[in-house]
Amino acid sequence: MMAQKKILVVDDEKDIVELISYNLEQEGFAVIKAYDGQMAWERVKTAKPDLVVLDLMIPGIHGLEVCKLIRRDAATETLPIIMLTAKSDQVDKILGLELGADDYVTKPFNVRELIARIRAVLRRYEGRQQIELSETFAFQGLSVNFGSCTVAVDGKKVDLSSREFKLLKFFTGHPGRVYSRDQLLDYVWGDEAFVEPRTVDVHISRLRATIEQDKENPKYILTVRGIGYKFADLT
- Give 41-50 pLDDT, tens digit per residue: 999 999 999 9
For the residues of 126-192, what is the DSSP string, one character each?
A: HHHHHHHH-SEEEETTEEEETTTTEEEETTEEE---HHHHHHHHHHHHSTT--B-HHHHIIIIITT-
Are 122 and 167 in a shared domain? no
Are 6 and 32 spatial neighbours (Cβ–Cβ below 8 Å)?
yes
Domain-embedded: residue 15: yes
Are 38 and 113 in a shared domain? yes
Are 18 and 125 in a shared domain? yes
pLDDT for the residue numbered 66: 94
Residue 123: other Cβ atoms inside 10 A: 15
Domain-embedded: residue 34: yes
Are 150 and 120 in a shared domain? no
pLDDT for the residue numbered 92: 73
pLDDT for the residue numbered 132: 62
Tens digits of per-residue pLDDT, 50-75?
999 999 889 999 999 999 899 888 88
Q: Look at residues 130, 145, 164 and tell me which one is the last residue of a structural domain.
A: 130
pLDDT for the residue numbered 192: 62
Domain-embedded: residue 1: no
Domain-embedded: residue 144: yes
Averaged pLDDT for residues 149-163: 92
Domain-embedded: residue 177: yes
Are 39 and 72 in a shared domain? yes
Are 187 and 74 spatial neighbours (Cβ–Cβ below 8 Å)?
no
Question: How many folded domains does the chain comprise?
Answer: 2
Q: What is the pTM of this model?
A: 0.63
What is the distance between the alpha carbons of residues 170 and 235, in angstroms, rounded to a whole number? 18
What is the distance between the alpha carbons of residues 167 and 188, in angstroms, rounded to a whole number? 6
Are 45 and 140 in a shared domain? no
Report the greatest alpha carbon distance in the chain: 56
Sign of the C-alpha dihedral, residues 214, 136, 203, 227?
A: positive
Are 56 and 122 in a shared domain? yes
Domain-embedded: residue 75: yes
For the residues of 33-87, what is the DSSP string, one character each?
A: EESSHHHHHHHHHHH--SEEEEESS-SSS-HHHHHHHHHHSTTTTT--EEEEEET
SS3 204: helix
Exposed/middle/buried for residue 148 (C-beta within 10 Å: 0-12, 13-18, 19+): exposed
* Cβ neighbours for 43, distance < 8 A, ≥ 6 positions apart: 8, 10, 32, 33, 34, 49
Are 110 and 71 in a shared domain? yes
For residue 36, the enclosing domain spans 6-130
Are 100 and 19 in a shared domain? yes
CATH number of the CATH domain containing 227: 1.10.10.10
CATH number of the CATH domain containing 36: 3.40.50.2300
Q: Percent of the chain beyond pLDDT 70?
A: 92
Are 49 and 164 in a shared domain? no
Q: Look at residues 75, 102, 130 and tell me which one is the last residue of a structural domain.
A: 130
Q: Look at residues 130, 160, 182 and tell me which one is the last residue of a structural domain.
A: 130
pLDDT band at 101 (very low <50, low <70, confident <90, very high): confident
pLDDT for the residue numbered 100: 80
Are 25 and 101 in a shared domain? yes
What is the distance between the alpha carbons of residues 104 and 182, in angstroms, rounded to a whole number? 21
* Cβ neighbours for 87, distance < 8 A, ≥ 6 positions apart: 106, 107
Are 35 and 146 in a shared domain? no
